[in-house]
């Protein structure tokens, strides 16, 4: 070899030695030809101890290669470089990840003359990668396990993720939402656009707002929403929405409002009741006197007395006043109930017989829709009859004497309740009057036609009998009042159906 060649070889060896990765030169029979300085340093071996040994003797201290997936034969056969990852634990228990790169060096005929095997320690990167994967898995668990509905969409509105709570709320599966639903479809018209506008105005953050969403069944659901835009290098990549279903909260609030209104109504009724009782008590005695003396006077008159009609008018009006007083006393619960056990259908029928003026029904069709199930009530039947009569008379007068009156009874055994619905096809009650109809003396009838005590008396009597009364529905096609009573359960024999 001439000097030039030596120089070149020397130069190549220096390049090999200066490689920053530990590197071996192997012959096709796997015998070690050489190793660079860093390899010797890392392994803590001398060159003369390793040259001529096979690689697996050095790495594993055995005489046949134990590595079933060693790429050496493949590199030899395919004459192409390849990389494998090797994981091992040092004697001190440290976990090491290595990238082993095998590069064939071909001779002039194109056969593999040597294979360079260099080892790169990628433990740090690998540990970072594992930590990242663990964090990702943890975050995924947090998102998937969260009871709060979370939806992520890309900047074009395609759904990227719907966690199980959001699947429940929206009624889509995650996979269906990802391929068939856009963020815009999750809201009533215009809402998504408005949310995006507010998000942008808030620099990517939307503090909690109350809004509505539309689920897969096209139901509108009230929700509380917070949202944010996710940026990567200042570029908008996704939007995340977090939803809280408000249905239960709103239902509780509305129940609370109703209970408050009922309480206010009861208080109002109680104070009106006291007043009514006082007035009724004071008026009852003089009325009895007037009736007594007017009757006496009438009895003393001849049949052709010209003043007879006047006295008869006085007696009629006084009787009417006494009736009003009786109603007032009933309303203020001054008369104590006499409770019996009676079938609801029977009370309804008996009440219909008691209505004094059958003429008023001449043009009214009466439909009876009685349940034939056993509906025993423990009530004062006279009081409940009075309630039913008041409701029926109101219904007939709302229809101006012509229309359909429906009397329907049914029960709900689960709640232990029996119901009577008195429905008419009359004028209906304007919304603004609904709150007033149970007030004493509230009437829309002409003076002399109604006292406005019918419903307030009914209210008092129903409460006296542990029941409820309310307007079930009303509009210009008619009104239905609903009476609710507790079903009577015999304390000895179980109820038969």
Ligand X SMILES: Nc1ncnc2c1ncn2[C@@H]1O[C@H](COP(=O)(O)OP(=O)(O)OP(=O)(O)O)[C@@H](O)[C@H]1O
- Closer residue to Mg ion (CB): 351 or 394: 394
Q: Which of 36, 118, 332, 394 binds ligand X (CB under 6 A)?
A: 394
Judged by CB under 6 A, the number of residues near ligand X is 22
Q: Note whether 380 binds ligand X by CB under 6 A.
A: no
Q: Which of 148, 442, 470, 482 binds ligand X (CB under 6 A)?
A: 442
Distances in Å between the alpha carbon of 354 and those of 310, 357, 405, 417? 29, 9, 16, 25
Q: Note whether 210 binds ligand X by CB under 6 A.
A: no
- Closer residue to ligand X (CB): 94 or 359: 359
Residue-wise DSSP of 161-208: EE-HHHHHHH---HHHHHHH-BGGGGSSTTHHHHHHHHHHHTTTEEEE
Compute φ and ψ for 47, nearest 5 degrees.
-60, -45
Q: Please give the structure tokens belonging to residue 104.
A: 């064939």
User: SS3 of 276, please?
Assistant: helix
- Closer residue to ligand X (CB): 163 or 394: 394
Cβ at position 433, least distance to Mg ion in Å: 13
Cβ at position 438, least distance to ligand X in Å: 7
Q: Note whether 454 binds ligand X by CB under 6 A.
A: yes
Q: Which of 198, 343, 452, 482 binds ligand X (CB under 6 A)?
A: 452
Strand partners, 340: 379
Name the one range near ligand X by CB under 6 A: 124-132, 152-160, 242-250, 454-462: 454-462
The CA distance from 92 to 190, in Å, is 64
Cβ at position 381, least distance to ligand X in Å: 20
Give CB contacts under 8 A, 24+ apart, made by 117-122: 117/23, 117/24, 117/26, 117/55, 118/19, 118/21, 118/22, 118/23, 118/24, 119/21, 119/22, 119/23, 119/39, 119/42, 120/21, 121/96, 121/97, 122/85, 122/97, 122/98
Q: Note whether 460 binds ligand X by CB under 6 A.
A: no
Contact flags string 369-408 toward Mg ion, x per CB under 5 A: -------------------------x--------------
Cβ at position 325, least distance to ligand X in Å: 13
Q: Note whether 398 binds ligand X by CB under 6 A.
A: yes
Cβ at position 452, least distance to Mg ion in Å: 8
Q: Which does 345 bind (CB under 5 to 8 A by kind): ligand X, Mg ion, none?
A: none
Contact 115, 75 (CB under 8 A): yes
Q: Which does 387 bind (CB under 5 to 8 A by kind): Mg ion, ligand X, none?
A: none
User: SS3 of 127, please?
Assistant: helix
Q: Which of 226, 450, 468, 470 binds ligand X (CB under 6 A)?
A: 450
Sites of contact with ligand X (CB under 6 A)? 390, 394-395, 398, 424, 426-429, 437, 442-445, 450-456, 479
């Amino acid at each position: 070899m001439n000097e030039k060649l030596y120089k070149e070889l020397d130069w190549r060896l220096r390049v090999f030695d200066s490689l920053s990765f530990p590197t071996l030169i192997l012959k096709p029979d796997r015998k070690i030809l050489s190793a660079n300085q860093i390899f010797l340093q890392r392994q803590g071996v001398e060159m003369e101890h390793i040259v001529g040994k096979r690689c697996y003797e050095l790495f594993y201290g055995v005489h046949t290669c134990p590595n079933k997936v060693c790429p050496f034969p493949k590199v030899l056969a395919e004459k192409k470089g390849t990389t494998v990852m090797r994981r091992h634990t040092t004697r001190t228990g440290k976990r090491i990840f290595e990238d082993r790169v095998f590069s064939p060096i071909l001779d002039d005929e194109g056969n593999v003359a040597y294979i360079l095997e260099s080892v790169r320690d990628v433990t740090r990167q690998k540990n970072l990668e594992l930590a990242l994967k663990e964090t990702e898995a943890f975050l995924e668990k947090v998102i998937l396990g969260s009871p709060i509905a979370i939806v992520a969409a890309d900047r074009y509105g395609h759904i990227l993720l719907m966690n199980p709570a959001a699947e429940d709320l929206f009624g889509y599966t995650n996979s269906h939402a990802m391929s068939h639903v856009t963020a815009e479809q999750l809201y009533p018209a215009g809402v998504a656009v408005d949310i995006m506008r507010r998000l942008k105005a808030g620099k990517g953050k939307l503090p909690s707002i109350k809004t509505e969403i539309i689920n897969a069944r096209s139901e509108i659901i009230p929700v509380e929403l917070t949202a944010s835009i996710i940026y990567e290098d200042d570029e908008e990549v996704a939007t995340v929405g977090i939803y809280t279903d408000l249905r239960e909260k709103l239902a509780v609030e509305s129940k609370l409002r109703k209970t408050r209104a009922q309480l206010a109504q009861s208080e109002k009724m109680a104070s009106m009741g006291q007043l009514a009782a006082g007035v009724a008590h004071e008026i009852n005695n003089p009325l009895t006197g007037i009736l007594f003396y007017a009757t006496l006077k009438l009895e003393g008159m001849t049949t052709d007395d010209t003043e007879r009609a006047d006295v008869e008018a006085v007696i009629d009006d006084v009787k009417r006043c006494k009736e009003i007083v009786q109603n007032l006393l009933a309303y203020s619960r001054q008369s104590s109930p006499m409770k019996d056990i009676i079938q609801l259908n029977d009370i309804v029928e008996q009440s219909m017989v008691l209505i004094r003026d059958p003429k008023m029904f001449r043009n009214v069709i009466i439909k009876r829709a009685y349940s034939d199930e056993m509906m025993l009530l423990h009530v004062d039947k006279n009081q409940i009859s009075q309630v039913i009569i008041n409701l029926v008379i109101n219904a007939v007068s709302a229809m101006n004497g012509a229309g359909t009156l429906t009397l329907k009874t049914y029960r709900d055994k689960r709640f232990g309740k029996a119901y009577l619905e008195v429905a008419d096809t009359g004028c209906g009650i304007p919304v603004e009057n609904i709150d007033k109809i149970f007030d004493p003396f509230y009437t829309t009838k002409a003076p002399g036609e109604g006292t406005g005590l019918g419903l307030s008396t009914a209210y008092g009597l129903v409460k006296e009998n542990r029941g409820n009364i309310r307007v079930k529905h009303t509009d210009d096609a008619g009104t239905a009042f609903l009476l609710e009573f507790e079903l009577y359960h015999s304390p000895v024999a179980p109820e038969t159906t």
